[in-house]
Chain A
């Protein structure tokens, strides 16, 4: 019984990495431009559909490289044509815009690929299970976690150890001063939106072999991503990471103790408790309007 409990804790910790990939992009885009991107899940769906389209030609690993780049390109185009009009405006406008965008993308996928779910297999080399004593885990998920950790690590280096990152962080803190220094934030905003949305695309490719690929799959995952971002604190890198792990853990443990029907409700409860105690989220910046 103890073995199972440990297994569930471990699984819960690992589970968090899926939410992380999507939530981090969401948080990144919000912190720089103030855009609450409700279409983030739709880009995740685009990633999955691009994966099934490209994989027959480029293979799974080819798709794993190409798709995030393509989705990032789409993200930058979206930023240039749509987001840019709503920076520093009431978040309500961008909320409506991206909500509409999400619906357009979902319907577009339905037109192109049909409503029926598509099948997609993981590559043979990643099939199978790995045993750690009594704990069984799928080889594919280990690969998924490695990719996620490497990506998140690279992102951290980019934001914290490069000139690009310094300007982005300065832009988050105080866009006016960055502007006064003669640095235009515009291209940085585009790149950040590209990276954020590209992460959603990457998650789409990675989850395609283990989740159902259907036009509404983005809507399924976006709510959880928002919960993670809110718990972690909008705009906080480490906050999102901690929150993702916390959410995975909560879910796994409730299933372990036989309260599976509460596993989703508990995550919202967790969010509620965090917001009651710390409206800015675990590691979020102080939001003057709410505190």
Chain B
């Protein structure tokens, strides 16, 4: 029991303290009693289900912490969670949440296609939608809209970060890259960004395989990669495909430098210490060594018995950010929130070294990200800590926006 209490206190003291103050302060000025309703939509079934499960755990913990600290601008938060299933269902459910449940905003989603349909519904109701897992560049480009904000990092940021990391190791200029790309919008989007990065930095793309999304066996690809002898094998795959690939890469004894552009920690955990290898970009991970992150990890472990995945970080932070926005804006309407989130004072402690902010031109949360590198199997102590994390990217001497310069060109007009 004491552990739990001290953890709670530890949590309050560190990461959430600043935020909690921001959330709670205006309470005393305006005692609003109507609860703030947050709708949460994310896929909990299908191939994104594993991530969705973490997303739900993250937002639930956020709401609990917000309410424990006095609510959002004095309003208790009510959470309504549903499985978004697919773009069509996501749109119907978003509609129902605004119409019937009277939610003030929607948080969540992982599939970029569903993000698009939800954001269109949200815009119609002039309410905010906070995307916590959709990576597609087009959501920050031609499909952007005034009421959609992105806590999740976009594809080109991942490519820039991962590219920067490999560049630092001398693995880009003049080196041969072989990519495996999931044959749908997400993969194509990543591949375009990766090609642009390699072109700009002198890397050669010697092979690219478009992998059908339902492919589970990679043996024929592995034989080809072995023949091609690239310097780097980079994956633009998604979900369980990454895990399948990792398991089979080790099985066929390939040892070219491995990495990729899209990644979630759950894929590493599912592959296990014996199979996980390479270096991967990551919006945040449970090993990030600062007090706020570690307090969050402890609170999460206390609540769910396992460390948070990066998706849990996304939904947790989206919850806290929006609670603070409601408190600061004094209103939960989409226009008031958008005005606040675009303003220069909207800076957020994201459990990272530098604070993050939403870029007004496309509503992308500009923030540091990390690269995680697999530990050798014999150095692994437990099933969760199977990688090491890099220092925050970009380095302290570079402005945050360097990562977020789109390599494929931004086309958002808000």
Contacts and interface: CB of A to CB of B under 8 A. Distances in A.
- A and B assemble together: yes
A212 B247 contact: yes
B35 interface: no
Contacts of A280: none
A263 B218 CA distance: 11
Interface in A167-217: 209-217
A7 B240 CA distance: 26
A183 B140 CA distance: 70
A8 interface: yes
B289 interface: no
Nearest to B248: A210
B170 interface: no
A4 B219 CA distance: 12
Interface residues of B, number: 44
B224 A255 contact: yes
Interface of A: 4, 7-8, 11-12, 15, 18, 110, 114-122, 128-129, 136-138, 140-141, 209-217, 220-221, 223, 251-252, 255-256, 260-261, 263-265
A264 B212 contact: yes
A114 B224 contact: no
B247 A209 contact: yes
A90 B395 CA distance: 67
A7 B269 contact: no
Contacts of B401: none
Contact of B270 (A141, A214, A260): A214
B219 A263 contact: no
A260 B251 contact: no
Given A117-B270, A255-B209, A220 B216 contact: yes
Contacts of A116: 50, 53-54, 266, 269-270, 309
A7 B221 CA distance: 11
B124 interface: no
B64 to A, nearest CB: 20
B220 interface: yes
Given A136-B226, A211-B247, A215-B49, A255 B217 contact: no
23 contacts: A7-B223, A12-B220, A115-B49, A116-B270, A116-B309, A117-B267, A119-B269, A121-B272, A121-B275, A136-B226, A136-B253, A141-B251, A210-B248, A212-B243, A212-B270, A214-B49, A217-B240, A255-B221, A260-B220, A260-B221, A261-B210, A263-B220, A265-B212
Interface in B11-65: 44-47, 49-50, 52-54
Contact of B252 (A138, A223, A263): A138
Q: Which 8 A-B pairs have the closest CB atoms?
A: A119-B272, A117-B270, A261-B210, A264-B212, A255-B220, A212-B240, A115-B53, A129-B253
Contacts of A212: 216, 240, 243-244, 247, 270
B271 interface: yes
Contacts of A137: 252
Most buried by A among B53, B211, B216: B216
A110 B227 contact: no
A121 B274 contact: yes
Contact of B52 (A115, A210, A215, A216): A115
A118 B53 CA distance: 14
Most buried by B among A141, A211, A223: A211
A7 B220 CA distance: 9
A261 B212 contact: yes
B49 A110 contact: yes
Given A215-B49, A220-B216, A255-B224, 15 more contacts: A11-B219, A115-B45, A115-B53, A116-B53, A116-B54, A117-B269, A118-B270, A119-B271, A119-B275, A136-B253, A212-B240, A216-B46, A223-B214, A264-B215, A265-B212
Contact of B253 (A7, A118, A128, A213): A128
Contacts of B82: none
A235 to B, nearest CB: 26
A57 to B, nearest CB: 18
Contact of A4 (B53, B223, B252): B223
A117 B266 contact: yes
Contacts of B253: 128-129, 136, 138
A251 B217 CA distance: 10
Contacts of A11: 219-220, 223
A264 B223 contact: no
A264 B214 CA distance: 8
Nearest to A107: B45
Contacts of A221: 216
A129 B252 contact: yes
A15 B211 contact: no
Nearest to B212: A264
Nearest to A254: B220
Given A211-B244, A260-B210, A260-B221, A216 B270 contact: no
Contact of B247 (A210, A214, A220, A265): A210
Interface string B204-243: 0000011110111101110110110000000000001001
B342 interface: no
Contacts of A121: 272, 274-275
A125 B226 CA distance: 23
